[in-house]
Structure 1
């Protein structure tokens, strides 16, 4: 709607130039129509530039507001998760169960290390998507494991293209994940680098809608930059178990 209004205003502004142009045609031997045309053109040009700047500023403000809102939701969700873990830890300490408390601390430490590696993966768009995933998806849990010392921005890939491909792979499972009748849907991702390629291992356990076409859709996400090594096929039951590895060969 905003784009349509912007187009109409711009079109109307330039069409209004017909008035001074007509005056030049009707009175070709006088000087004032030329001055009128020059001033009118300058005024229209100034108006259009001002409108473009205002629209660009409003667009940037909306993007900033959206990013801030997403960050707040992510922080709120993480705070809720940590509070739950701390309450469990406090309960075990009150019950004098140190072994159980140690397990909770180890789980918290592992989550913190995971989030730290995601935030340092080197591609802002991908890191933001993975860290905020829990706030935008309630049908599937995403567990991410990144090889120590793996930074995508230090690898010879087009970062934006690689990021969109990986996000697309996750979204294939995200949008196909059906509300489970029992348990939960879990997608595990493991990033690791081999000698001549970047590999991402996927392991999905849960319920999928239209599961037969998942592999084909995944292949479209990596077309031209990677290939799928299909692993375990899903069993003949509602609950699906899929494993696969996506290979991204390093450019020469």
Structure 2
């Protein structure tokens, strides 16, 4: 019953978001199918198979995303490419990962959304180059989730770094935060959920 209530609440309050996601997903599906059909028409069966296998993997990842256990975070991750089209966004989820109840109770998803919104807003406004953002959900220490964020883009400086430090401070309430690398083009962050 909880799932039905969540879905009803989502449709009633944000039907445009649902339609935007549906349109984007349909576009993605049709693109993959057209590529596969193009390869088949050229007699390139192996490339057609690769395209279709890529589509199958994409939907496998979507299935894992839908099972994460934090509906608000999942909807946000679906919307991200629509909100920040200049960022090539990808989510990768290990089959063995699940978010514990404490993740939702202590607003872990909200903390992740804050960070991803900060990234999106700063690169939407301040970057002419296309950026790449990879979000990985894996099983970490003691089977708790580990979330890795890899950003490939020019660095952000100035006042925006102060904003990041505030967000990082909020993240540290729920996560062990480790900056794994910063340079001119890449920034990586590892977030290990703490079970308090």
CA distance in 2, matches of 1:187, 1:220: 21
Q: TM-score, normalised by structure 1?
A: 0.66
Which residue number corresponds to residue 139 of structure 2?
Answer: 193
Shift of 1:77: 0.7
Which residue number corresponds to residue 166 of structure 1?
Answer: 112
Which residue number corresponds to residue 176 of structure 2?
Answer: 227
Q: Which has the larger radius of gyration?
A: 1
Instruction: Summarize the Cα distance change of 1:134–1:223 in structure 2 as closer, same or farther, 3 Å threshold.
Output: same
Which residue number corresponds to residue 243 of structure 1?
Answer: 188
Question: 2:39 matched to 1:131?
Answer: no
Superposed CA offset, 1:132-154 (max 9, x none): 222222121221111213221x4
Unaligned runs of 5+ in 2: 1-8
Segment of structure 1 superposing worse, 171-180 or 186-195: 171-180
Structure with the bigger percentage of strand: 2
Superposed CA offset, 1:212-251 (max 9, x none): 717524413403212321112212xxxx211121122222
Instruction: Summarize the Cα distance change of 1:241–1:100 in structure 2 as closer, same or farther, 3 Å threshold.
Output: same
Shift of 1:157: 3.1
Instruction: Summarize the Cα distance change of 1:98–1:174 in structure 2 as closer, same or farther, 3 Å threshold.
Output: same
Shift of 1:63: 7.5
Superposed CA offset, 1:75-94 (max 9, x none): 01110111111111110000
Aligned length: 185
Segment of structure 1 superposing worse, 156-165 or 226-235: 156-165
Query: Larger RCO: Structure 1 or Structure 2 (Cα < 8 Å, ≥ 6 residues apart)?
Result: 2
Shift of 1:206: 1.8
Whether the 8 Å CA contact 1:219–1:227 is kept in 2: the answer is no
Shift of 1:177: 1.3
